[in-house]
Structure 1
Amino acid sequence: MAKRSRTKARESQPVEGAVGPRQPCPCGSGKRYKACHGAAGGVASVFVGRPFEGMPSECDVVALRELVPAATAPLTLAEPDRQGRSVQLCSLLPMAAPAMVRDSGQIWLGMQVQHNFGDPARDLGAVLQKALATDEPGIIGLTDPPGEGPRLQDLITDERLDVTVHDGFDYWIADVEDTSGMAAALEQANEAANPTARLTTVEAAYWTHVGTKEHLRWVMPQPEDRLLDALARLHAAGRDDLAPGSRFVGMFRAHGLLAPVWDLPVGTGPEALEEPAERFAADLAEALADESPLTSEQRAARNGLANRQVTIR
C-alpha cells in the first residue's frame, strides 16, 4: 500500500513551472486550480500565464491591472478607427466597467474589472472590438467568455505606453459637462485611492503610500528563475536597499511577472527613490549577467526570497 501511495504521489507532482491541482488558481479566484481553470472539461485551455507578453510596456500594463489605483495611457490602434476615435487604457473605470464609449466618441478600456475568463489580453481585445463596432455612448460589458479572436496586443501598435498616474479619479469626469450627481461617488472613489507615483528613471516602478506605510512596487520583465538568482546575489551582498531604513520584503507574482516590494520609512516619497532605483537597476543588470553558480549564502537568500512570494494573478 505504501509503495502504491508513493507512486501515486510521484505521479501527481506538478511539472516544473506548472500549477499543482491543489494550489491556488493563478487567475486569482481563490479556488484551487483543480476546481477552477484546471477543472476537467473547464476552461483550463483558456488560462494564459503571461497574457500581456509582447505588449508594449508589459510591466506597466501589469501594474495598471494589479497595483496602481488611478492611471491612464493612450493606445494607438494598428488599424486606425474609420471615425478617427482614440482609445485610452485606464486602470479603473466607474463600476469597474470593462470599457466605455464616451460622448466624444473616445473609447476607454478598463484594466481592473469584475470578470476573469483566463486571458485578460483576449478579454480586452474582445471589449475593444465591441466598442469599435458601436457609435452609441455607454458602457461596454463582457458577460461571457469571448472565445477565439485577437488579443489586445494584436490590435494596437508596438509603441511604448505613456503612463500618467493621477491623484484620483477626476479623469472620469474630465470630458463631462454636467457632473451633477457624481460628486459623492467620485469622492468615495478618491478616498479609497492610495497616493501613487511612477518613478521616472526606471520602468514600471511605483511608489505608494498605504496608511502608515510607504512601499515601492516594481514590476520586472525577466524570467522568474533568472530574476530570483540575481536578486539573491544582491540580497546576500547587502545591495538591495533603496533608501535609508528601506527593506526588501518580498514579491508579488502577477500575470507571469514578479514585482519586488520594498518597505520604506514614512516620509521617503518618490523623489528620493529616483537615483537609488536607477543604481539598483544597473546592479541588477550586472547580477543578471553573472552566470556563476550561487554560493551557499546566495542559495539561502534565494530560498528566503522564494518563500516571500505572493501570487495575486
Structure 2
Amino acid sequence: MGKSKRNSPKPDSNRAQRLAQRRAAQEQTSAAVTRPFEGLAAECDLVALREFVPSATATLKLVPGVAAQREVTLATVLPGAVAALVRAGDEPVGFVGTQMQFRGADPSADIAAAILWTQSAEPGESLNSADAADGGPRLVDVIDPGADLELTVHQDFDWWVPEGVTPDPQVAATIEQAKQAIMPSARLDLGPDSVGAAWWVDAGEKAHVRWVRPEDEDALMLALARVHATGGLHMGEGSRFAGSFRTHGLLVPVFDLDPELHPTEWEAPAREFGARLAGALASDEPMTSEERRSRDGLRSRQVTLR
C-alpha cells in the first residue's frame, strides 16, 4: 500500500489556499531587505515615518533624470492607507505614503515605485499597491540621497483635504475619527551635529522619546551599556530608559518621559545624553564586568518590529 494522502490537501481546498498564503508570507519575510533606507541621509527619519510617526509630510527632492512632471510630497499615511495619489488642482501634486496597507519585501522599492507612478498618473487617481518590480528602482535611485527631509509635523489629518476645499460628510467624519486617535508628536531639534532622529510622542499617561540611531547595532548596544554602567542612561529628571527596539536594520532606544513637559524642554537633556553616548561610542577600552552586565540587561529588554 502507498503512503496515506490524508495530510496532502486538495489543490483547490481552503486548507491548500491557507498553506499557499503562509508559504508566500514566509518567502516574503525571508526576502525582506534588512536595511531598506541605507545610503540615504534621511534614513533615520524615513524609518520613523514608516513605523511610528502619526502625521507628517515632506516635499521630496527628486534626482536629475526622474521625469519630474509634478511635485511629490512624502507623507506618513494617506486616506485608506493607499500607496500614492495625485491631488487635482491648477498644479497637480503627487502624494506618496510610507505607511501603506499593502507592503512588499522592500519598502524602499515600494516608495520609489509609488513616486514614479505619480509622475504619469491622472489628477484624482490613487494607487492602492505600489507593486515594485524585482530589480527595479529603489528610493536611493529616485530621490537625492544626500538631502535631509524638511519635515512638517501635523497634529491632525486636515492636510488630507486641499486648503479651501470643504470635504464631503463621509470624508470629514473619517478625518475627525483619525484626529481623535492621533497622539501629539514632535521631532526634537538637537542641532546640526546631532546623530539620528529623535521623536517625542505624548501617549497620555506618559510621553516617550524614540531615538532612531544609524550606528551598527553591536557598537550602539556596547555604548549604551557603557553609559548605563556610569548611571547616565537617561534624559534628566523625569525620564527613564524604557528599552529599545530594532526595525529596518536600525536600533531605536526609547525613553519614558514626564508628559507635563513640552517637547522643547527635552531638547537640552537629549543633547547632553547624545554627548555621553558619543563619548561611549568613541571609546575603545575593554569592557568591564559592570558594562557586560549592563549590556546583557539591555539586550533582554530589546524587541524586533517586523
User: Above 0.5 in TM-score?
Assistant: yes
The whole-number CA distance in structure 1 between the counterparts of 2:172 and 2:293 is 53
Is it true that 1:48 corresponds to 2:33 in the alignment?
A: yes
TM-score calculated relative to the size of structure 1: 0.83
The whole-number CA distance in structure 2 between the counterparts of 1:166 and 1:233 is 36
The whole-number CA distance in structure 1 between the counterparts of 2:277 and 2:24 is 35
Deviation (angstroms), 1:45: 6.4
Percent identity for Structure 1 against Structure 2: 44
The whole-number CA distance in structure 1 between the counterparts of 2:235 and 2:168 is 45
Q: Is the 8 A contact 1:126 1:150 kept in 2?
A: yes
Which position in structure 1 is the counterpart of 2:197? 204
Residues 82 and 272 of structure 1, relative CA distance in 2, 3 Å threshold: same
User: Given the alignment, which residue of 240, 251, 266 partners 1:247?
Assistant: 240
Which residue type is aligned with residue 292 of structure 1? E
Describe the superposition over 1:96-153 as per-residue Cα deviations: whole angstroms up to 9, x where unpaired.
Answer: 1111111132111101112222100011111222222223322112274532200112
Is it true that 1:124 corresponds to 2:100 in the alignment?
A: no
Which position in structure 1 is the counterpart of 2:183? 194
Describe the superposition over 1:253-304 as per-residue Cα deviations: whole angstroms up to 9, x where unpaired.
Answer: 1100011000112312212111111111111111101011211111111111
Q: Is the 8 A contact 2:111 2:130 kept in 1?
A: no
TM-score calculated relative to the size of structure 2: 0.85
Superposition RMSD in Å: 1.9
Is it true that 1:173 corresponds to 2:145 in the alignment?
A: no
User: Given the alignment, which residue of 38, 45, 52 partners 1:67?
Assistant: 52
The whole-number CA distance in structure 2 between the counterparts of 1:246 and 1:101 is 43
Which position in structure 1 is the counterpart of 2:85? 100
Q: State the SS of the aligned residue for 1:56.
A: coil
Q: How many residues align?
A: 277
Give structure 1 stretches of 5+ with no counterpart: 1-34
Q: State the SS of the aligned residue for 1:194.
A: coil
Which position in structure 1 is the counterpart of 2:250? 257
Which position in structure 1 is the counterpart of 2:75? 90
Give structure 2 stretches of 5+ with no counterpart: 1-21
Residues 37 and 162 of structure 1, relative CA distance in 2, 3 Å threshold: farther
Which position in structure 1 is the counterpart of 2:286? 293
Q: Is the 8 A contact 1:220 1:258 kept in 2?
A: yes
